[in-house]
Amino acid sequence: MADSQAPGTKPRHHIVVPSRSDSLLRTMTEPVGGPLGRRTAPGSTNPGFFTVERVLVLMTAVSAIIAVMTKSHCRTAGWTTPDQQSTVCWSAFPNSFVDDKLGTMVPFFSQGSPFDHPVLAGWIAGITAWLTRSSGDGALRQLAFFDLNAALIAVVWMVTVVLVARTAGRRVWDAALVAASPVLILTAYVSWDFWAAALVALAIYLFARRQTLWAGAVFGVAALAAPYVIFVVLALLLLGIRTGHTTKMLEMVAAAAIAWLLVLAPIMAVNPPAFPDYLKNLLASEPSESSIYGGMNLLAKRMGWPGLDVGATNTLATILLVVLVFGLTALALYTPRKPRMAQLMFVAAAGFMVVNKSTEPWDAVWLVPLLALALPRWRPVLVWQAAIITHFIALMLFRSKVLGNLSDQHAIDAPYFLMAALAAGVATCALIGLCIRDMFVPGFDVVRRGAGGDPQGGVLLDPPAAATRALVTGARTDVSDAAETGSPEKDAAETGGEKSLQ
């Protein structure tokens, strides 16, 4: 392969090839010729038209088409209960269009709107419902509403993959975990949660390029799409404290708050009670079946025990969220070496998903882009995705049993659903454990081994001012943090057992 660099241009850097470095992919590529040869130099030679990003976008396009095919039954027969659950083609888009009266009401702006999704989802639902007003009535408009939202998410999916690839440093192929994710294929078109994941990916991209204020603004908008973003921002703030960049992180939080208020301001001006009512309804809502609290209630009902009421659920959930905050603080400040930004963000998001009282299996879309940056290992990620998919299918079949009273041939009972939900929760906790292990033993972290630093670190990689460093108490701002951009000698010393760990 000929060198693609013109004289006088900045040389390219080699990129990490997963078929070489990942044991599972090495095995999986054997039927198609095996891993990429050692004499090739990806990233340093001209690939022609098929650059890495273009290949990833093509992979995403194929995944998006397959995702639509998983909803083909409902697109043809309509979204009726329990048929949409028993055929696992349920989606919040068409159901919300009918249940929330999107044809006549604008979420959060119209008085008495029953819309119970986050604020940003309300904006998107209102705009897309308005765009489909000329597509007909009834089922035709409901289908058009679903198709338009699915098309937008397909575009957002492609953008997210490119953002992850550009944020991953030399490990651009790790974005394939997002492009070909089985979880996303099954759940991308289920809810508006993908918008939150995409906005977080954009914020990380901006932060990695030291555009801290813009990153904060995007985080603020993302927080109106899903509440887990608050804990992601908290993780960044804690890392800023450890590295002596508290002021810059507080500026980022201020930018997030301003953007949050700007998006919320029109709603507060037109319909002031809408957002407070949304929060009240959120607190007063019953726990979802997939949460640990809903699972406990299902088990208690089965065994004839007393269950958790809403007050007890909110109290227990608050205690667990406080524990999560303390855990994030300990990891951010007291690990031997500063955790990578994506690692702590993933622990924050996954921890919130585990303890949230409204968690659903499709909330896993929050985690997939973060996983590609935090734990780009195909074997554990695919095992986790298999558990999430099983949980999602089990939930649909369980709901078809509850809502439609179907026979066991097309539905499952509570014990089988609880086992699937428990397996998904355990798998998520296992990934959290792997990330924490990588924080304490950097030799296990394939990103540090391959690139020697934090590709998403941004301003956190800069050495703090002496005055700022003196104000940091109780946090570790040692030499290894200041040298995060990395000397090869230090990275080799810290990951000396690399071969034995592969």
Per-residue model confidence as pLDDT tens digits over 393-420: 999 999 998 887 666 667 899 999 999 9
What pLDDT shows up at residue 491? 38
| Whether the Cβ atoms of residue 190 and residue 91 lie closer than 8 Å to each other | yes
Task: Report how far residue 99's alpha carbon sits from residue 97's, in angstroms, rounded to the nearest whole number.
Answer: 6
Q: Using DSSP, how many helices (H) and how many strands (E) does the chain show? A: 26, 0
The pLDDT score that the predictor gives to residue 482 is 42
Helices in 304-440 by DSSP H: which ranges? 310-334, 341-355, 367-374, 378-404, 414-440
Confidence band for 23, pLDDT divided at 50, 70 and 90: low
DSSP helix/strand/coil, 118: coil
Confidence of residue 266 (pLDDT cuts 50, 70, 90): very high
Is 421 domain-assigned? yes
- DSSP classification of residue 3: B
Q: Does 137 have pLDDT greater than 80?
A: yes
The whole-number pLDDT of residue 120 equals 97
Token pair of 142 as six digits: 């409901």
Q: Confirm whether 39 is domain-assigned.
A: no
Are 203 and 221 in contact by the 8 Å Cβ rule? The answer is no
Q: What is the CA radius of gyration of the chain?
A: 23
Total number of domains in the chain: 1
Q: How many residues would you count in the chain?
A: 502
- Give the domain extent around 83: 49-464
State the pLDDT confidence band at 1, using cuts at 50, 70 and 90: very low
How far apart (Å, rounded) are the C-alpha atoms in residues 18 and 450? 11
Smallest Cα–Cα separation from 388: which of 414, 359, 413? 359
15 lies in a domain?
A: no
Q: What token pair was written down for 234?
A: 């908290």
Residue 28 in domain: no
Task: Judge whether 472 lies within some domain.
Answer: no
Most confident of 113-117, 376-380, 387-391: 387-391
433 neighbors 153 (Cβ within 8 angstroms): no
Nearest to 143 by CA among 62, 71, 191, 41: 71
- Residue type for position 277: D
Is 310 inside any structural domain?
yes
Q: Tell me how many degrees the CA angle 70-75-78 measures, rounded to the nearest 5.
A: 125
What pLDDT score does 3 carry? 38
Evaluate if residue 60 carries a pLDDT over 80.
Answer: yes
188 located within any domain: yes
Does 300 reside within a domain? yes
pLDDT grade, residue 474 (50/70/90)?
A: very low
- What global pTM score does this model have? 0.88
Is residue 452 pLDDT above 70, yes or no? no
* Core vs surface per residue 318-342: b (16+ CB within 10 A) or e: eebbeebbeebbebbbebebbbbbb
Mean pLDDT of the chain: 87
Tell me the HSE value of 489 on the side-chain side, using a 13 A CA sphere.
0
